[in-house]
Structure 1
Amino acid sequence: MPKLKFIDLFCGIGGIRLGFEEAAKTLKIDTECVLSGEINSDAQKVYETNFNHRPVGDIRQLHEMPACDVLLAGFPCQTFSYAGKKEGFGETRGTLFFEIMRLIDNNHKPKALIFENVRGLFSHDEGRTVATIKHEMVKRGYSFDFFLLNSANFQLPQNRVRIYIVGILEASPKFSLISDVGPKDSHSYNPLQLSLFSQPKKNVTVADILEDNPDPKYDCSPQFVEVLKQYCNNDLTRLHGVRLIDYRGGKSVHSWELGLRGSCTPAEIELMNKFILKRRNKEFGKHQDGKLLTKEQIASFFEHPNLDILLESLVTKKYLSLVDGKYKPVSGNFSFEVYKFLDPAKISVTLVASDANRLGIYHNNRVRRITTREAARMQGFPDNFILHPNDNKAYYQLGNSVSVNVVKAVAEDTLINLIGDVDKVPLLVSLG
């Protein structure tokens, strides 16, 4: 049986390819990657190490594209302009999505397109961006379907919603997938039971992806652990699900409560906790992350005979700064070794490139950051996948990657629509 040929653009370290190849294998379809593209040299190296295939670089410099059956692309979500008026759709010329369209126009039309992008693409520019993408696909003869899917519904312990766009050439496909953004947060997730007759899915949690005895390099510093112990009265299980962040309330621990910049009195802690909540009130302005407040504004919600002394102390310890007679918190979440402790019995928050290296866990009597392998497992990468040897680069790449399990589900549904009934797959003679 001829191989199904595919192209893997904006391939990163290869998450979309992994999911697609796993789907094809499930359907007993042989595949061949005839072209891959990725501009980042570090990602290129990881991709080549795992697939023995070096991606080409800047897609804007690519002019020839070999014939293929399926084109995969996790193109970046750039700022889309809607200055144009073509048939009521926004113009997105010059963006990387249109580089894909350019290659299709100048070369061969794949029989199917599978795109992945951030959830925000769905609502970007009040829906004009997705409408533009649909318009450009449909005018080239492709169907247009999209799904908002949460990794937590695909046997992965991560609350991660992404949009998947599928087009099949000259077809009206029927997909079994349905959009489901899943839980509002990582603490309220329960596995879906698809019907009254189906068995509930296994509740995959963070505990399922943890390593038993990871390298000590992932341990938090003794000084950090000590202040956490003091805060938790030596019951470190209280860290499960806790955020360490200085500009929000909720289930959060703040630097002044831990005394990271100097011990604070109960009155100073109370003042700071009220400050970060009240500064978000509309009466003080409309800035989303809170306003700078004067002493008089602070006194309106925190009456204390020694307010001047408390404020001066907090400025000295650098929990507050004074700017033009107004006070604001100094620290953000980047002031902590860990910004979020995962609950082993729940699912993780979304793994993102900027701070995947600062997700924490209390496990086997150790306070530590999650390992790169654990981050890879959250994304569905198999343990034999070779990660970048530099941990920070590995975290960054995994945060930018896709959830392999979700891609597999999307690819299976797409291939079944492309080829026909799955039972007929072995009868496939040629996709050419």
Structure 2
Amino acid sequence: MPKIRFIDLFSGIGGMRLAFEEAARSLNLATECVLSSEINPDAQLVYHKNFADTPLGDIRLIERLPKHDILLAGFPCQSFSAAGKKAGFGDTRGTLFFEIMRLIDTAKPQAFIFENVRGLVSHDGGRTLETIKNEIKSRGYSFDCFLLNSSNFNLPQNRVRVYLVGILNASPQFGLISDLGPKDSYSCNHQQLSLFSPLSKLVTVADILEDNPDPKYDCSPDFVKALKQIVNNDLNRLHGIRLIDYRGGNSIHSWELGLRGKCSLDEIELMNLFILKRRNKEFGSDRDGKLLTQEQIATFFARPNLDEILDSLVTKKYLQRNNNKYKPVSGNFSFEVYKFLDPNKISVTIVASDANRLGVYFHDRVRRITPREAARLQGFFDSFILHPNDDKAYYQLGNSVSINAVKAVALEVISKL
């Protein structure tokens, strides 16, 4: 059986390796990972448990790469992501791309597959991606860039990532189709993943949920009781609901739940109007609005006891007062769950920072999704060994790749060699 030798840089828990090996196996090709690298000890632990291979540490300490056919690299994304500072190559994590180029020069593999966040495409007006393209093409590689959504690859997750692929001394024509997918997780317009693949069945969140997970994932009785009051005991209304304090829309707020102290109807009305009205142009152009004075608040909430209501909300820590101006104490980390998934739809993007606080109402239980369910959202097999610490497992899965999407990319690249 022919064998493909590959290298797995910035390997994390091994998502790209797992997907690549699956792709090769489906083509009756054997694989050999000749080197892997991952700096995080917790990720190294999980990688070793699943592949019996402990990755090397800091990529900057690797002098040269051994001979191999394909290079895989999910290089750090924080520098380019919407969640980060978007520092790009001004960030030391961004410069690690050039470490990949340095190592490519030592071995000249036949092809590469890189994965990153979609923000890489638009970062710095497209100049960052153009720099990457020039670095790659100057070494004799082709360069193709695809924006792919995991929901188009039999995974119930609205996750868009960019895949950069290239082959040495070639001009391949790939069958992949860039597709951002749905604007949100509740208007999924399912597409085929490539020109040569049939339209697949839409997979929903219900398909990856466990039937009877450990009760430790259930939300607290007090939290459930507060939710029931909001939805008039119809917990099905939780499907797709966000729990967040700085925007309106399909949301439940902490003051409605009484998480920091029960609020009167007047206090709830004021808070809901506050987060809506403070974004009006008359108060400023900030995306989420400016701090408002009591006089400004009175323009949309005229009550004779306004000062008492404001004092009460400050005492309960729903509002913060700075120099006689007010702003909501915003954020979503005070909630046990920040978003309830709809079992009949697809999931929002799971990310490292809050994958542990995605919730679901399913089989008469209000609970958080389990690490295994988070793994399934990313396409990991149930046989894949997760980190024994739940919080670390959620974090690693939020940082990982979608197996099905990487496998589709790998199949395209391997077929062109």
TM-score by length of 1: 0.91
CA distance in 1 between partners of 2:127 and 2:191 (Å):
32
Report the counterpart of residue 76 of structure 1 in structure 2: 76
Verify the 8 A CA contact 2:175 2:196 in the aligned structure 1.
no
CA distance in 1 between partners of 2:330 and 2:237 (Å):
23
Verify the 8 A CA contact 1:11 1:38 in the aligned structure 2.
yes
Equivalence map 1:226-265=2 (5 Å): 226-265=225-264
CA distance in 2 between partners of 1:354 and 1:305 (Å):
43
CA distance in 1 between partners of 2:47 and 2:195 (Å):
42
1:197–1:31 CA distance, 2 compared to 1 (3 A): closer
Equivalence map 1:352-367=2 (5 Å): 352-367=351-366
CA distance in 1 between partners of 2:58 and 2:184 (Å):
37
CA distance in 2 between partners of 1:108 and 1:329 (Å):
55
Verify the 8 A CA contact 1:246 1:255 in the aligned structure 2.
yes
1:222–1:403 CA distance, 2 compared to 1 (3 A): same
Verify the 8 A CA contact 1:190 1:203 in the aligned structure 2.
no
- Indicate the larger mover: 406-415 or 282-291: 282-291
- Indicate the larger mover: 300-309 or 213-222: 300-309
SS across alignment from 1:334: coil
Whichever residue aligns with residue 111 of structure 2, its letter is: A
Report the counterpart of residue 51 of structure 1 in structure 2: 51
CA distance in 1 between partners of 2:367 and 2:92 (Å):
44
Provide Cα deviations, 1:410-429, integer angstroms capped at 9, x if missing partner. Answer: 000111111xxxxxxxxxxx
SS across alignment from 2:7: strand
Displacement of 1:64 after TM fit? Answer: 2.3
Verify the 8 A CA contact 1:92 1:98 in the aligned structure 2.
no
CA distance in 1 between partners of 2:348 and 2:156 (Å):
9
CA distance in 2 between partners of 1:180 and 1:350 (Å):
16
CA distance in 2 between partners of 1:93 and 1:188 (Å):
35
Displacement of 1:304 after TM fit? Answer: 2.0
- Indicate the larger mover: 292-301 or 238-247: 292-301
SS across alignment from 1:368: strand
Displacement of 1:301 after TM fit? Answer: 1.7
SS across alignment from 1:333: coil
Report the counterpart of residue 7 of structure 2 in structure 1: 7
- Indicate the larger mover: 320-329 or 242-251: 320-329
Verify the 8 A CA contact 2:76 2:93 in the aligned structure 1.
no
Whichever residue aligns with residue 15 of structure 1, its letter is: G
Verify the 8 A CA contact 2:153 2:193 in the aligned structure 1.
no
Whichever residue aligns with residue 80 of structure 1, its letter is: G
Provide Cα deviations, 1:47-78, integer angstroms capped at 9, x if missing partner. Answer: 01000110000000110210000000000133
Superposition RMSD on alpha carbons, in Å? Answer: 1.9
Displacement of 1:314 after TM fit? Answer: 1.2
Displacement of 1:287 after TM fit? Answer: 2.5
Displacement of 1:195 after TM fit? Answer: 11
Report the counterpart of residue 388 of structure 2 in structure 1: 389
SS across alignment from 2:102: helix
Report the counterpart of residue 338 of structure 2 in structure 1: 339
Whichever residue aligns with residue 14 of structure 1, its letter is: G
Report the counterpart of residue 426 of structure 1 in structure 2: none
1:32–1:197 CA distance, 2 compared to 1 (3 A): closer
Report the counterpart of residue 201 of structure 1 in structure 2: 200
Report the counterpart of residue 22 of structure 1 in structure 2: 22
CA distance in 2 between partners of 1:150 and 1:2 (Å):
31
SS across alignment from 2:11: coil
CA distance in 2 between partners of 1:346 and 1:94 (Å):
35
CA distance in 2 between partners of 1:93 and 1:115 (Å):
15
Displacement of 1:168 after TM fit? Answer: 0.2
Whichever residue aligns with residue 120 of structure 1, its letter is: G
- Unmatched tracts of structure 2, length 5 or more: 80-86
| Bigger relative CO (Cα 8 Å, ≥ 6 apart) | 1
CA distance in 2 between partners of 1:216 and 1:21 (Å):
35
CA distance in 1 between partners of 2:192 and 2:109 (Å):
36
Displacement of 1:93 after TM fit? Answer: 11
Report the counterpart of residue 86 of structure 1 in structure 2: none
CA distance in 2 between partners of 1:416 and 1:161 (Å):
24
Displacement of 1:382 after TM fit? Answer: 0.3
CA distance in 1 between partners of 2:218 and 2:193 (Å):
40
1:387–1:193 CA distance, 2 compared to 1 (3 A): closer
Provide Cα deviations, 1:191-242, integer angstroms capped at 9, x if missing partner. Answer: 2268999965311000000000001110111111111111111111111100
1:349–1:129 CA distance, 2 compared to 1 (3 A): same
Displacement of 1:81 after TM fit? Answer: 4.1
CA distance in 1 between partners of 2:15 and 2:198 (Å):
29
Report the counterpart of residue 147 of structure 1 in structure 2: 146
CA distance in 2 between partners of 1:96 and 1:193 (Å):
33
Report the counterpart of residue 159 of structure 1 in structure 2: 158
CA distance in 1 between partners of 2:135 and 2:38 (Å):
23
TM-score by length of 2: 0.95
CA distance in 2 between partners of 1:347 and 1:394 (Å):
21
Provide Cα deviations, 1:63-104, integer angstroms capped at 9, x if missing partner. Answer: 02100000000001333348xxxxxxxx99981000011112
Whichever residue aligns with residue 355 of structure 1, its letter is: D
Whichever residue aligns with residue 340 of structure 1, its letter is: K
SS across alignment from 1:117: strand
Runs of 4+ in 1 over 6 A off after TM superposition: 91-94, 194-199
Whichever residue aligns with residue 145 of structure 1, its letter is: D
